[in-house]
Amino acid sequence: MPEQLLIIRNITHEGPGLLEGLLHKHGIATHIEDLSQRGTFPDPRQYRAVVVLGGPQSANDETPVMQLELRQIKRVLDEEIPYLGICLGMQMLIKAAGGTVIPCPEREIGFTESSGNPYQIELTAAGRADALFAELGSTLPVFQLHGETVQLPPSGTQLLASGSLCHNQVVKAGANAYGLQCHFELTRSMFSELLNIDSDLKRMNHTELLGQFDELNEEYNFVGRKLMENFLKIAGLL
């Protein structure tokens, strides 16, 4: 059985973050492809598990790269290969599973809603029972950076966590494919870089955003690492 983890970057600056530290700590063999640097999406059957990260593209794009990505994620589902998709990676998962990707009723950007309330997700009964959230609470703080959301297909998926604005925040497709609309993987260095790259974040108060990150950092790190560790256990890599 393959023992290597495949990580797909859709854009160079959105990397594995907290997951990378766990992979080094546990000596897990990893292959990374950057689709924005003329990378390709290898046959997922050659890997123990697949992680697809975020990016500025849309799951509705009809470019050759995005169409290849969609086909390979459909293969992941067909073969029941453990999968974790973050942001765009979640949207691609739901599209591959037969759902749709649509504009958000309100773009979710940063740590707080336009009302000032913090972005949080609430686990559903299915989420509280799922191994992905083992040893975690039922309400979790999150960072958001997306303008699209998903509508789930009629069957084959479960909602594991919801949000107040964009409802479908964490989903499960089939036996072991997970999608996170929100971000749990950021490190401070990743976040600092993102502030100067992302067009939405560029227009926001960076001092305030970094302060919010630092205030949340201890809890955010614990939740992010535990969630990633739980996925690696589900995938049989730990």
Structure tokens at 170: 């964490």
Whether 229 shows a pLDDT value over 70: the answer reads yes
- pTM given for the model: 0.96
Per-residue pLDDT at 206: 97
pLDDT 10s digits, 115-156: 889 999 999 999 999 999 999 999 999 999 999 999 999 999
CA gap 196, 218 in Å, rounded: 23
pLDDT 10s digits, 91-123: 999 999 999 999 998 899 999 998 889 999 999
How many angstroms separate the Cα of 196 from the Cα of each of 20, 72, 191, 202? 22, 32, 9, 6
Which domains does the chain carry?
Answer: 5-234 (3.40.50.880)
CA gap 34, 161 in Å, rounded: 29
- Contact at 8 Å (CB) between 204 and 107? no
DSSP state of 203: T
